[in-house]
Amino acid sequence: MHQGRTTLSKFLIQQLKGAPEQSDLAALLVDIAAAVKAISAMTAKGELGGVLGSLDSINVQGETQKKLDLMSNQAFINTFSTGGLVAGLASEENDDPVEIDPRDGGGRFLALFDPLDGSSNIDVNVSVGSIFSVLRAPEGRAPVITDYLRPGKNQLAAGYAIYGPSTMFVLTVGKGTHGFTLDREVGNFILTHPLLQIPEDTSEFAINASNERFWEPPVQRYVAECKNGSTDVRQRDFNMRWIASMVADIHRILMRGGVFMYPRDTKDPSKEGRLRLMYEANPMSFVVEQAGGIGSTGRRRILDIEPEQIHQRVPVIIGSRNEVERLERYHRDYDSGIDEKYSSPLFQERSLFAS
Ligand code: F6P
């Protein structure tokens, strides 16, 4: 029975053999998978487990915390606090990074995570997920905030778990993106989706269209053209999906292509974007790039951004290569005034003066 199935541990031992850092990374990813299994079991119980509903607390992001947010956060913290692999952790749910007591940790890695992404979906029984990112810890001293503030291209590993009809664990260590499905009876993650490849072209886009009036013109242009479908420049009809859970939307894109956008908007001018660079945009961009896609703000590659703050937010446009490149081109057209209808106000003013 089950002969020839590649478990997550077997896969990681094979992919990460060699230097001690590699085998420690494999051990850390197995630990993360253990936390994910615990969260999967909690989410699956739903109302029967008494885990639904909100708490009175508000997190550092200004969002009301759900019970499962905190339980998932604790599952990750417990995992990272023992085992000697992690020197410090940063969670979307905690104000500041937490140093792991060197007697318990003192490890080689820093772990950053969003313990339960898309948590507005918990109470309505729609897919949610966890996202993680692993950076190298400094050697010979305790981590300080600047050790966390590294561009996403420095990530050693990243991935997510999706708690849907099945639980899947998707990860990259920079050698392609691979998906594992939880065999609940046996308790193992089994390699089911090796070397995922996102199709370069797509006819599916994901965006919260209720924000349309707040978007910048290049995004309005892109979405308008998709909606016009075969009657306009795209010459084909598009489909729109929005699950309001980044993990679930990105997972769909990894499975069949598409573009996900939470672009810059003017809804709250104090925020550059909605999604967090360190816990959402960076890990998902690493996963997507390793599957042949692109992660962009519309103006630059997400993985190149030099972070300034641990809870920093950025615009996110991510997915199928040709669609993200088109959106980047629309941003360039807008910024340089090439596109008359959608050019920036600065250029419209100039052309007014010129006439
Ligand atoms: O944490 C952010 C998040 O929940 C993402 O998972 C999701 O894509 C987005 O917010 C949903 O935003 P909105 O509430 O605007 O649909």
Atom of ligand 1 at shortest range from CA of 262: 8
Q: What is the pLDDT of residues 173-201, one digit of tens each?
A: 999 999 999 999 999 999 999 999 999 99
Average pLDDT of the chain?
Answer: 91
Nearest CA to ligand 1 atom 4: 118
The per-residue pLDDT for 61 is 66
Ligand 1 centroid distance, CA of 158 (Å): 20
Q: What is the DSSP string of 265-294?
A: BSSSTT-S-SEEIIIIIHHHHHHHHTTT-E
Whichever domain contains 126, its CATH number is 3.30.540.10
Is the pLDDT at 2 greater than 60, yes or no? no
- Cβ atoms of 119 and 131 within 8 Å: the answer is no
Ligand 1 centroid distance, CA of 351 (Å): 38
- Taking the CA atoms of 208, 211, 213 and 215 in sequence, report the sign of the dihedral they define: negative
Nearest CA to ligand 1 atom 15: 208
The per-residue pLDDT for 119 is 81
Average pLDDT over residues 313-342: 92
- SS3 for 139? coil
The per-residue pLDDT for 343 is 61
How many structural domains are present in the chain? 2
Atom of ligand 1 at shortest range from CA of 210: 15
Domain boundary pick from 139, 159, 193: 193
Does 178 lie in the same domain as 140?
Answer: yes
Domain boundary pick from 164, 193, 222: 193
CA distance 240 to 225: 13
Atom of ligand 1 at shortest range from CA of 244: 11
- Let me know if residue 1 belongs to a domain: no
- Cβ atoms of 62 and 82 within 8 Å: the answer is no
Is the pLDDT at 349 greater than 50, yes or no? no
CA distance 221 to 249: 22
Does 175 lie in the same domain as 236?
Answer: no
Nearest CA to ligand 1 atom 13: 244
- Let me know if residue 185 belongs to a domain: yes
Whole-prediction pTM: 0.93
Question: Which has more confidence, 56 or 239?
Answer: 239
- Let me know if residue 228 belongs to a domain: yes
The per-residue pLDDT for 353 is 37
Q: Give Dmax (Cα) for the chain.
A: 78
Atom of ligand 1 at shortest range from CA of 117: 6
Average pLDDT over residues 103-108: 71
pLDDT bracket for residue 50 (50, 70, 90):
confident
Domain boundary pick from 172, 193, 214: 193
Residues found in the chain: 355
Does 158 lie in the same domain as 45?
Answer: yes
User: Ligand 1 pocket: which residues have CB below 6 Å?
Assistant: 117-118, 208, 244-246, 275
Does 138 lie in the same domain as 259?
Answer: no
The per-residue pLDDT for 347 is 54
Q: What is the pLDDT of residues 86-104, one digit of tens each?
A: 999 999 999 999 999 776 5
Ligand 1 centroid distance, CA of 24 (Å): 33
Ligand 1 centroid distance, CA of 251 (Å): 14
- Let me know if residue 355 belongs to a domain: no
Does 161 lie in the same domain as 110?
Answer: yes
The per-residue pLDDT for 354 is 36
Does 154 lie in the same domain as 118?
Answer: yes
Question: Which has more confidence, 292 or 20?
Answer: 292
Poorest-pLDDT segment among 5-19, 28-42, 57-71, 109-123: 57-71
Does 248 lie in the same domain as 145?
Answer: no
The per-residue pLDDT for 47 is 87
Does 317 lie in the same domain as 298?
Answer: yes
- Let me know if residue 2 belongs to a domain: no
Ligand 1 centroid distance, CA of 245 (Å): 5
- Let me know if residue 278 belongs to a domain: yes
Does 291 lie in the same domain as 182?
Answer: no
Does 255 lie in the same domain as 120?
Answer: no
Sequence-distant (6+) residues with CB within 8 A of 294 are 288, 301, 318, 319, 321, 324, 325
Could you tell me the residue range of the domain that residue 136 belongs to? 8-193
Does 162 lie in the same domain as 43?
Answer: yes
How close are the terminal C-alpha atoms of the chain, in Å? 78
Does 96 lie in the same domain as 187?
Answer: yes
Q: Where are the alpha helices (DSSP H) in 207-277?
A: 217-228, 246-256
CA distance 220 to 17: 47
CA distance 98 to 112: 10
Q: What does DSSP say about strands 204-206 and 259-262: parallel, antiparallel, or unpaired?
A: parallel
Whichever domain contains 294, its CATH number is 3.40.190.80
